[in-house]
Amino acid sequence: MDRYSRRLPVFLNLAQIRFPIGAIASIAHRVSGVLLFIALPVLAVLLDASLRDEAGFASVRGLFSSPLSLVVAGVLAWALVHHVLAGIRHLLMDVGIGGELERARTSARLVLIAAPALAVLLLVWGLS
């Protein structure tokens, strides 16, 4: 690289770039992954509490009563569902299924729409 490039500007304003639907599904895949990673230690702690004694089990159960925890649970439900669905899309593309542009666009759209829908179902089921 010549020294010139260090002084030269670069156009990289993401807000001015028009991303295809696949890119949206992809960044959501990454964000959902990070959210799930943050939830992992919490999950481990909850597992431990639920196995410790009756009181611990009850307190884990009682967690989902507050509106804040509901929001958190909702976001994590979306994160899990989206990450799994987008992951399946990637695994299928790995073995050559759905890699063509039109099919990839369709599957991206499908994942983006199905994820919040299934997440709501998951949340409702989990609370019952």
Partner 1 sequence: MRLFAGQRAWVVQRISAVLLLALIVLGVLALPFAPPLEFAGWRAFAGGVLGGPLIALLFGALCAHAWVGLRDIVLDYIQPRGLRLAVLSLIAVVLLGVLVRVLLSLAAAALST
Partner 2 sequence: MRLNIYRFDPERGAPPRMQAYEVQPEAGDKKLLDLLMRLRVQDDSLSFRRSCREGVCGSDAMNINGRNGLACLTALDGLKEPIVLRPLPGFPVIRDLIVDMTQFFAHYHSIRPWLINDEPLPERERLQTPAERERLDGLYECILCACCSAFCPSYWWNPDKFIGPSGLLQAYRFIADSRDTATAERLDFLDDVYRLYRCRTIMNCTEVCPKGLSPSHAIERIRLALLRRSS
How far apart CA 31 and CA 119 sit, in angstroms, is 16
- Would you count residue 103 as binding partner 1 (CB under 8 A)? no
Note whether 63 binds partner 1 by CB under 8 A: no
CB-CB neighbours of 64 under 10 Å:
13
CA distance 48 to 112: 33
Q: Is 34 an interacting residue with respect to partner 1 (CB under 8 A)?
A: yes
For partner 1, the closer CB: 2 or 94: 94
Q: What is the DSSP string of 47-106?
A: HHHHHH-HHHHHHHHHGGGSHHHHHHHHHHHHHHHHHHHHHHHHHHHHTTSS-SHHHHHH
- Asked whether position 102 contacts partner 2 by CB under 8 A, the answer is no
Does 88 contact partner 1 by CB under 8 A?
Answer: yes
Residues that bind partner 2 in the complex, under the rule CB under 8 A: 1-2, 4-5, 7-12, 16-20, 22-23, 26, 30, 90, 93-94, 96, 99-101, 104
Q: Which residues of this protein are in contact with partner 1, per CB under 8 A? A: 30, 33-34, 36-37, 40-41, 43-45, 47-48, 50-54, 57-58, 84, 87-88, 91, 94
